[in-house]
Structure 1
């Protein structure tokens, strides 16, 4: 999953403002709280069938790392 896809989920489904969500922003400075991570987790599971807990997502230091982490989980398994 790309940064833009994660940003889209956070803004449309999570109701977050787009402006602070930048690749190098920390989760806190991008206003990504635990509720936003729950929404992201649910959307990833709905879209891919893969469950990624919000605890795992919270380990990301930046929004770019968050997108990378989601992408790793959302990759098709062989």
Structure 2
């Protein structure tokens, strides 16, 4: 862990490939990256609305069924 960035409150806790291999979670849903990425069990849902003038077009969000762990993507036009 490192000290928080004074401009972003919180604690920096990177998740490495080794962490994923060691802990072997069923699903990993992460944030912060605005662009949608699906890497098998690792999901970056992206931002459901554009946060920059260049972030236009279709966006999405994820719905996770906590009983079955099914992940469903909902696409919206922004």
Same topology, TM > 0.5? no
Task: Say which structure is richer in strand.
Answer: 2
Structure with larger RCO (C-alpha < 8 A, sep 6+):
1
Q: Pick the structure with greater CA Rg.
A: 2
Task: Say which structure is richer in helix.
Answer: 1
- Give the structure-1-normalised TM-score: 0.27
- Give the structure-2-normalised TM-score: 0.27
